[in-house]
């Protein structure tokens, strides 16, 4: 990406994502009512994803330590493949080893990516009632990846996996239900999101917070929304972090605390969230929650503009910088863009 200058910052919206522009419009003022931005589909973690809190270890089997899974967690995928294969040779009904092979083929880790082989391994594991395999099969059937596209079959797999306790299945089932807009489906979606949220799945915690904020499927309750956004933020969910910062700034469902809100916005901004970068820039420009600093405001404005989120108010607010200050802001802004 070419370096940005302050003069270019306000021109990039036409080149940026419309999604980001729509989000910026709803949050044009730090005092604005919190509105949950529409979020793009996210790649969800699987039970074999390193650091996944919603089922980070395979179910206890009474067997020796899971060397295959341990190798996967360390990024030693060839070893993970070899160890999982050895386990299946020793026990043709080792469901967690089958699921791990499916995951390796699905992601192309240690082996050539092959969705068809991935689905075959998931099917074998699903016959052993492995919920992680059922969840993955459901997603593949919904997408038509590795298996023929079949939304009904995909939903059935997710329902079975959710009933067996898969947090990711519950979350994805909730997404399917909430999309219908039917009140009964929204209520069931809230139940599914709660299952996944209680397993500490950050995206589910964020989405449950949105339902409480909007009163969809549950009684409207900003306090509950704030609590779930906070938990989502604690689990590293960027959308939850930004939403919690908005509620903190406004004092919605939680005690108003502009300084704490600024800390959350700044943390999300450093992780590359364009909305947070825009919020931080406005806070530095106005001295709300942080000390007023127009150089920092301009730098964060540039970082947000680098992702297509421009702000005419900020452009005007920092227009009086000296040449030296502009140069510093451009250097800082471009450093942040390179880190995104």
DSSP 284-312: HHHTSSS---HHHHHHHHHHHHTTT---H
Listed by start position, the domains of the chain span 6-33+252-339, 67-214
Compute the residue count for the chain: 340
User: Within 13 A of 165's CA, how many CA atoms are on the CB side?
Assistant: 8
Structure tokens at 238: 């960027």
Give pLDDT, residue 26. 33
- To the nearest 10 degrees (0 to 180), the angle between helices 274-286 and 18-26 is 40
Give pLDDT, residue 44. 46
Structure tokens at 208: 């449950």
Give pLDDT, residue 328. 94
| Helical spans, DSSP H, in 109-237 | 115-127, 131-143, 151-163, 167-178, 183-198, 202-214, 222-234
Tell whether the torsion through CA atoms of 144, 148, 150 and 153 is positive or negative. negative
pTM for the model stands at: 0.80
Residues of the chain where predicted confidence (pLDDT) is lower than 50: 1-3, 5-61
Give CA–CA dist 294/187, Å, rounded. 46
- Locate the DSSP E strands across 4-136: none
CATH topology of domain 67-214: 1.25.40
Q: Is 270 helix (H, G, I), strand (E, B) or coil?
A: helix
Inter-residue contact 100 to 84 (CB < 8 Å)? yes
Q: Is 247 exposed, middle or buried (0-12, 13-18, 19+ CB in 10 A)?
A: buried
Give pLDDT, residue 338. 87
Give pLDDT, residue 10. 32
Structure tokens at 182: 């039917």
Give pLDDT, residue 340. 75
Non-local CB neighbours of 78 within 8 Å, separated by 6+ positions = 110
Structure tokens at 179: 């999309």
């Amino acid at each position: 990406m070419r370096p940005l200058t302050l003069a270019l910052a306000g021109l990039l919206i036409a080149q940026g994502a419309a999604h980001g522009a729509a989000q910026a419009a709803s949050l044009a003022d730090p005092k604005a009512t919190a509105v949950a931005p529409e979020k793009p589909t996210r790649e969800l973690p699987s039970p074999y994803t390193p650091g996944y809190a919603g089922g980070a270890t395979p179910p206890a089997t009474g067997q020796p330590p899971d060397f295959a899974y341990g190798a996967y967690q360390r990024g030693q995928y060839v070893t993970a493949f070899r160890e999982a294969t050895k386990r299946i040779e020793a026990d043709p009904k080792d469901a967690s080893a089958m699921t791990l092979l499916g995951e390796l083929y699905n992601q192309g880790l240690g082996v050539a990516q092959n969705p068809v082989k991935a689905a075959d391994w998931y099917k074998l594991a699903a016959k052993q009632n492995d919920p992680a395999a059922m969840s993955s099969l459901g997603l593949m059937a919904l997408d038509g990846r590795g298996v023929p596209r079949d939304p009904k079959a995909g939903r059935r797999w997710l329902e079975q996996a959710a009933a067996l306790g898969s947090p990711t299945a519950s979350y994805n089932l909730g997404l399917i239900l909430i999309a219908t807009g039917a009140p009964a489906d929204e209520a069931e979606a809230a139940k599914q999101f709660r299952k996944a949220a209680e397993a500490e799945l950050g995206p589910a915690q964020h989405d449950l917070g949105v339902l409480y904020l909007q009163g969809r499927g549950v009684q409207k309750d900003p306090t509950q929304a704030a609590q779930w956004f906070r938990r989502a933020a604690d689990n590293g969910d960027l959308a939850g972090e930004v939403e919690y910062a908005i509620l903190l700034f406004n004092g919605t469902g939680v005690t108003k605390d502009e300084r704490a809100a600024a800390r959350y916005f700044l943390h999300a901004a450093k992780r590359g969230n364009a909305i947070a970068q825009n919020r931080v820039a406005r806070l530095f420009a106005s001295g709300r929650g942080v000390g007023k600093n127009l150089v920092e405001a301009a730098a964060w404005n540039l970082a947000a503009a680098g992702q297509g989120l421009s702000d005419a108010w900020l452009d005007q607010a920092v227009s009086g910088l000296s040449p030296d200050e502009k140069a510093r802001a451009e250097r800082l802004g471009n450093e942040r863009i390179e880190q995104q």
